């Protein structure tokens, strides 16, 4: 019987060290993203901006969503897919245009504080509207267009390939069902989308309040 045994040679040890190093390196950006999101979450809760309700923070730079409970404690996080184009605003009137008429540079995921609401799209899918007027929602990842390779993009450890949508936030289906739907899918809520082209305080008023002037990378008053 051929049992699989752990390697004991020098090569095995080197591989193990390499694997640990790779894993540690991969965790660094996520850890930094989590710290940014947690910092914003603490500030939001301190300012009562979340209205004592659970909420989510989307870090566009690291393509992650973080779900917090009402007290600002991190409950879960996941990679997400975001708008193809870099930018923090939606083009006026984009919500009224079919996706086929949206140019690549217009495919942005807007940043800021959004009061979300549960809803449905025209295909009857339950979604969470982030910005109803701009037609930006958070929904389960859609793999209908094979050439876009959305599932593979979500699974990859890199961030750059997570920019593919027309502005919506695509979440792994299991994560959506476990965390997004219960928190934001049945009631109004708040989602904070961290900007990628400017300081966060320019998009979140509560960061400008005296009690919130804490300095942190990317969030200091100087930006």
Partner 1 sequence: MNSTSRLIAALALGAAGAAFAQGNPPTTAPANPATAAGQQSPSGGAMGTTGVTPESGGATRTTPPTAQGSTDTSSSSGTTVAASGDTPAMRRARADRN
Residues of the shown chain interacting with partner 1 in the complex, contacts defined by CB under 8 A: 53, 83, 94-95, 98-99, 102, 107, 117-122, 124, 127, 129, 132, 134-137, 139, 142, 165-168, 186-189
How far, in whole angstroms, is CA 120 from its chain's centroid? 20
CB of 95 to partner 1, least distance (A): 8
**C-alpha torsion sign, points 172, 173, 175, 176:** positive
Strands 163-165 and 82-83, bridge-based pairing? parallel
Residue whose CB is less far from partner 1, 98 or 210: 98
CB of 193 to partner 1, least distance (A): 14
Residue whose CB is less far from partner 1, 93 or 210: 93
- Candidates 39, 33, 65, 88; CA nearest to 220 is 39
CA atoms of 134 and 130, how far apart (whole Å): 9
CB of 129 to partner 1, least distance (A): 7
Residue whose CB is less far from partner 1, 126 or 220: 126
Residue whose CB is less far from partner 1, 114 or 129: 129
CB of 172 to partner 1, least distance (A): 16
Residue whose CB is less far from partner 1, 33 or 111: 111
- Give 222's contacts (C-beta < 8 A, 6+ positions apart): 199
CA atoms of 56 and 74, how far apart (whole Å): 9
Q: Are 84 and 197 in contact (CB under 8 A)?
A: no
CB of 188 to partner 1, least distance (A): 5
């Amino acid at each position: 019987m051929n049992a699989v045994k752990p390697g004991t040679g020098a090569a095995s040890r080197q591989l193990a060290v390499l694997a640990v190093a790779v894993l540690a390196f991969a965790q660094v950006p996520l850890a930094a993203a989590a710290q940014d999101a947690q910092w914003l979450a603490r500030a939001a809760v301190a300012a009562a901006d979340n209205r004592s309700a659970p909420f989510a923070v989307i870090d566009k730079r690291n393509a992650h969503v973080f779900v917090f409970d009402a007290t600002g404690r991190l409950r879960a996080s996941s990679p997400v897919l975001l708008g193809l184009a870099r930018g923090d605003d939606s083009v006026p009137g984009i919500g009224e245009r079919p996706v086929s008429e949206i140019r690549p540079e217009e495919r942005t995921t807007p940043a800021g504080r959004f009061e979300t609401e549960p809803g449905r799209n025209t295909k009857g899918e339950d979604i969470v509207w982030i910005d109803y007027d701009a037609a930006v929602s958070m929904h389960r990842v859609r793999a209908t267009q094979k050439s876009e390779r959305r599932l593979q993009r979500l699974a990859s450890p890199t961030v750059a390939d997570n920019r593919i949508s027309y502005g919506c936030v695509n979440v792994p289906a299991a994560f959506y069902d476990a965390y997004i739907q219960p928190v934001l899918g049945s009631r109004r809520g708040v989602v904070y989308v961290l900007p990628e082209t400017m300081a966060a305080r320019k998009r979140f008023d509560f960061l400008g309040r005296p009690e919130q002037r804490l300095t942190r990378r990317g969030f200091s008053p100087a930006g």
